[in-house]
Chains A and B, each alone.
Chain A
Amino acid sequence: MRFRQWASTGAPWIWLNAAAVAALLLLVGGLVLLIAFRGLGHFWPTGVERIVYQDESGARSTLLGQVREREEISRQRLEEAGQEVPGEALDLQRILLKTGNRDISGSDFRWVLEARIVQRDKPYSAVVVERTEWGVFIGHLLGVRQGDSLVPGNDSWGAFQQAIERASRLRAEISELERDQIGEINHQLEQLRLRERRIELDGGDNPVALEEIETRRQELREQYLVFEAQLETYYEQIQRDQVVLETVDGQRVDLPLANVIKAWRPNEMSLGNKIGHFLAAGWAFVSEAPREANTEGGVFPAIFGTVLMVLIMTVVVFPFGVIGGIWLREYARQGWLTRTVRIAVNNLAGVPSIVYGVFGLGFFVYALGGSIDALFFEEALPMPTFGTGGLFWASLTLALLTLPVVIIATEEGLARIPRTVREGSLALGATRWETLWRTVLPMASPGIMTGLILAVARAAGEVAPLMLVGVVKLAPSLPVDGQFPYLHLERKFMHLGFHIYDVGFQSPNVEAARPLVYATALLLVLVTLLLNAVAIVARNRLRDKYRGLET
């Protein structure tokens, strides 16, 4: 077949259409792989390389760090940046080295031109230390100082690990004391202050109650002193040990173990060790709180906030959405009005989410929240309680956002039930409600469940409206804790999606935080994909279960 003849059949167009499908598959696959690869790479204990390079003047210096990236760069661009470029090649390779030690060298990263590298190796003894501040330290271990005794040299690795364990135990004790005991006292003191203010607002003349508040406050202060003394001893203990480290250019650093979270020697780890480290780091990521303006540590509060918000949203949206759908399909008189309402509800699913955010801020936060504060939390004013963004308002806003999805799903689920089923039930003497409750709803449940889960998946990934109604970059405490009423609906919360936006775009050290953002993005993608998968499976299961009934 000649080309022209082949082309005249239209086959090239069909092939192009097929190519569009292939491109879509590649886009989705590539994107998921990209996130997965970069996100998971964050946890892998990359080897530490020692690089000796020669700068423009011929002086040699040594760097120690993990290779983060390798890229090609044109000579032109380098020269425009004012660098002297060795050799003749038009394109050069350069590597991005994560050298850590931000407190000493000022930055975490260094670009190194490969053409300038004289020597590269992987020193067996290189140590990576994760610290509570200033990012990681990369260097060599000289010894561990425990109180007055010093364990020097290579034997100190074991001692170092023991010291880390001891320090993290003490840290846990301290944080428990600070968060639970002292937090409880602060909470009660705040309650007392509010009670006092309440009395003042009511006319201020209740000496008995005021007396009581004052004695109680005194008691709490005494308790506080006890805890404070205890805390003092813990702090003394945790300050006892120090680790002596050396940077690659020979600078000695005495690092208190209070600041050390974890240390590893990536170059001597076996594959098994690396996998163990990888899993532990992954677990720490999902179970720990963030540190250093969210650029280090884990994302547990964000996961918790996301899940809790979605749960509350589900509790709100499920009954209302289902009732709305049932009313629209089963009870409302069908006519132009219901048709209009149906189209309107359908369209609301396409209204931009930020519009719901604006509504939530104006109506829920300022109007409703402001009124609630004025009525019930007068004593706390001018500090707003519900009159500012919070978990509850965010959940309500998202419930409103997903309401159309649930209504539509319920309606469609009900619409699919054949009329014969209803008529059969009614003919057997069941009332309308009984028909609905015993027969129609169970059959429609796959559709309703799918709608609900899709709503949940949408809510989990939605960020824009939340930015207006209560999400914060760093919440001081979780919305659930041991203090009455345990679930604090008015508190601000953290969210995975917002975490991505904040750390990726608002953080002071974007480059250092980037792997963490990829990891967070991976987590969010996994959560939403999982929810969608559950929706699909649930739909299929229930559909199979009730298949016999459908006509």
Chain B
Amino acid sequence: MNAVTPETPEIAIRKRPRYQLWRARKDSIARWTISIGGTLVIGAIAMIFVYLLWVVWPLFTPASVESRVELGANNETAPAPAWLALDEQGEVVSGLSRTGVVHFRSAHGGEMISSQPLATGELEVTATAFEAGKPGLVAVGSASGAVQVFEHQYAMDFSTGVETRRVVPSLEFPYGEDALLSLQAPVTHLAIADDSRALLLAAHGADGDLVLLRAAKTQNLLSGEVQIDIQTQSQGIPFGVTALALSGDRRWIYLGDASGNIHRFSSENLELQQTIAVSEHAISAVSMLLGGVSLLVGDESGALYQAFPVRDDQNQLSLQAIRSFPALQAEIVLIQPEQRRKGFVAVDSSGNVGLYHATTGEQVLDIDGQGPVAAVGLSPRANAILLAGEDGSIALYEVDNPHPDVSWATLWEKVWYENYPEPDYVWQSSAANTDFEPKFSLTPLVFGTLKAALYAMLFAVPLALMAAAYTACFMAPAVRELVKPIIEVMAALPTVVLGFLAGLWLAPFVEKHLAGVFMILLVLPPGVIAFAYLWSRHGGAFRKRVPAGWAPLLLVPVVVLLVALAMWFAEPVQAVLFGGDLRAWLTREAGIAYDQRNALVIGCAMGFAVIPTIFSIAEDAFYGVPRSLTMGSLALGATPWQTMTSVILPTASPGIFSALMIGLGRAVGETMIVLMATGNTPIMDWNLFEGMRTLAANIAVEMPESAVGSSHFRVLFLAALVLFLFTFVVNTGAEVIRQRLREKYSSL
């Protein structure tokens, strides 16, 4: 096309008058403008891919430590703190010394802000615990057997202006400053669970007794005062307890022992309910994950496990070990859950620190704690970790870990989620409660997409290909002139209109006339053949008046009649075969679930939408088969149909294949029809009478609500990228095949 290179010779330009110079300059301006503009336009299109990838990328980048700041040892906290925490803004480090003094220090320089002792006398802290769902609440157990509960709070002080705001820490004692509980022996293990109705405190003493304190809160409706009603229970535990935790719903007490077992006790009566062997080594640390459902277990060898109660067939809850995490090197000494996500930090006795995420089962980050760690603190946003060494020095690690909850495995493989009886593919991106476990499995969405596309293709392909074959090979030119614009009209119908008709007209119609719809399939082909036979045999004078290639117009009333016949005939048939109503029979007798907006409706509506695409490309392919081939075949005595199947079809088959591919690409990406004509439930079932949720519809539904930059947002971008890549690959394949076909034709 572009063989001519119209470069104007330079010498000529120099000699020409101004006008010629202007012409040449205009030419080069145009060349530059168009070249730059064109490149930019193409670049803009390429940017779509790049941008989608750029947004998705952080999902798969590993977490990292951004900085490490030494806050230095604090003489007063020496030798090492028993407990550490960071406030929401990451500005105040709170620590509890082994002597029972709470210190608040600046996270930026380590300066002391304030400090306050928990008790008037001397105190030796032997155990601490905090509530995972309400991390401000901390329980402290001492060598004297006393257990105290305090809450650390942070207020913002704007008195000097917005820019210089300060965080002011303070201590509160919601259950009084005195000891809530007194054990006979030093407290060895402690656990706390608290919500608006009750506080549950479990303490294990060195004498082997387990003491349970239940503080029921009743609020006086008139005065708003909260009355606290305290009960305690105590029981000797026959085995050596190495770790203790309380479930978030306050029903269970979990105890770990030295032989690797977890014992589940009921908090109602302190009775042993279940013992499971989680590990082969002694349990050394346990903690509840956010939400209070999952138990995290660490053992002496450094292995980490997750366990949660699962309902069995008899609807009985039993604790089960669900998954293990990549192990640390030495005995696990501390496990600290994140406060907003299902992640946690584990520390071993030699100072290795691991960041994990429970849903993915992966270790996202590995920090060298540089020596044994005495206490670990996590900021509420989990973007900073505090590690205190045995010598009392504190280091603050800024961590970049935005998307630990998404991994290749959670996107595509079965995952065992909390409260589920078995591993499953689940898409559930949001829920009302904040401690919810997001479930980002793209598998059910991809499944739904393919299911919708498959049923659409089942409807569209036979109709479109048969119609294309007839239009290209047998139809009279006059009729062709009429049919082609009608198909163009079909292509131009907005999909939102098709979706609306499918959802509000077709779905109720199909539900009501289900038998009739299937009857049409049964009646139409034999009916048409019967008519054709009668027509060719007994058509007589009429037959001669209808020229060849006008059959479709002749068949229009026949098809209408046959459809009406099928609808009418369906009533008695279903009365006899299905006891009156096929739709009711399906659910009652066959046990097949039926949604009003189902795959059958989608198949018809989306099939309708892809028919014109398939039709026009296939028609081009059929029509492009060189006349010489068909003429030759006919001249050799083949019937028109033999010519069709043995000459035209093989020659056009690459084109037909590419038509199918492009049709498939369109069906996969169609949004509005699926959105409006299915229930949009992400189920995985090939059932023709149930709905699905597709990638595209899912994006349309959830994108406006997702928070920018969140894992959900990026996973939706990933869904878009998957759609993009799929259609791109399919269309490229189709295009390459089509070009090959063109070359083949040109050689014939």
Contact = CB atoms under 8 A, between A and B. Distances in A.
Nearest to B607: A27
A431 B6 contact: yes
Interface centre among B3, B38, B552 (most CB of A within 10 A): B38
B41 A366 contact: no
Nearest to A504: B500
Interface string A316-347: 00001101101111111010000001011111
A351 B319 CA distance: 48
Contacts of A517: 500, 504
Contact of B501 (A3, A12, A35, A461): A35
Contacts of B529: 12, 15-16
A323 B703 contact: no
A457 interface: yes
B504 A504 contact: yes
Given A20-B467, A21-B475, A463 B496 contact: yes
B319 to A, nearest CB: 42
Interface stretch (B26-34, B159-167, B253-261, B397-405): B26-34
A356 B644 CA distance: 41
A431 B466 contact: no
B728 interface: yes
A354 B483 contact: no
A524 B732 contact: no
Contact of A20 (B26, B51, B462, B533): B462
B497 A343 contact: no
A194 B444 CA distance: 48
A354 B700 contact: yes
Contacts of B6: 426, 431-432, 435
Interface string B483-503: 101111110111111011101
A422 interface: yes
Given A432-B6, A463-B672, A504 B503 contact: yes
Contacts of B226: none
A512 B134 CA distance: 49
A417 to B, nearest CB: 9
Contacts of B571: 91
Nearest to A20: B466
Nearest to A367: B51
Interface stretch (A229-237, A241-249, A400-408): A400-408
A341 B639 CA distance: 44
Contacts, number: 343
A476 interface: no
A77 B583 CA distance: 11
Interface centre among A11, A327, A497 (most CB of B within 10 A): A327
A77 B531 CA distance: 37
Interface in B107-130: none
A423 interface: yes
A22 B8 CA distance: 59
A525 B48 contact: no
A351 B489 contact: no
B2 interface: yes
B453 to A, nearest CB: 11
B357 to A, nearest CB: 25
Interface stretch (B75-83, B242-250, B554-562): B554-562
A28 B48 contact: no
B345 to A, nearest CB: 32
Interface in A24-40: 24-29, 31-32, 34-35
Nearest to B669: A352
A13 interface: yes
Given A19-B555, A505-B503, A346 B494 contact: no
A23 interface: yes
A327 B497 contact: no
A434 B27 contact: yes
A332 B671 contact: no
B447 to A, nearest CB: 17
Contacts of B48: 348, 351, 355-356, 359, 400
Nearest to A38: B505
A467 B31 contact: no
A58 interface: no
Given A352-B669, A415-B1, A343 B735 contact: yes
A34 B533 contact: no
Interface string B22-48: 011011001101110111011011111
Nearest to A359: B48
B669 A24 contact: no
B2 A334 contact: yes
A419 B3 contact: yes
Contact of A528 (B23, B494, B611, B723): B494
A426 B5 CA distance: 10
A24 B487 contact: yes
Nearest to B608: A27
Interface centre among A25, A341, A354, A434 (most CB of B within 10 A): A354
Nearest to B45: A348
Interface in A508-546: 510, 514, 517, 521, 524-525, 528-529, 531-532, 536
Contacts of A13: 641, 644
B58 to A, nearest CB: 13
Interface stretch (B274-282, B287-295, B660-668): B660-668
A76 interface: yes
A541 to B, nearest CB: 16
Contacts of A357: 699-700, 703
24 contacts: A6-B537, A10-B641, A14-B474, A17-B469, A18-B554, A18-B555, A27-B608, A28-B486, A31-B493, A77-B581, A320-B41, A327-B34, A328-B38, A329-B2, A331-B31, A344-B732, A355-B669, A356-B48, A363-B47, A403-B45, A432-B30, A500-B496, A504-B503, A528-B493
Given A501-B500, A528-B493, 15 more contacts: A15-B555, A17-B474, A20-B470, A21-B475, A25-B552, A327-B34, A344-B728, A351-B669, A357-B703, A415-B1, A432-B6, A460-B494, A463-B496, A464-B696, A525-B494
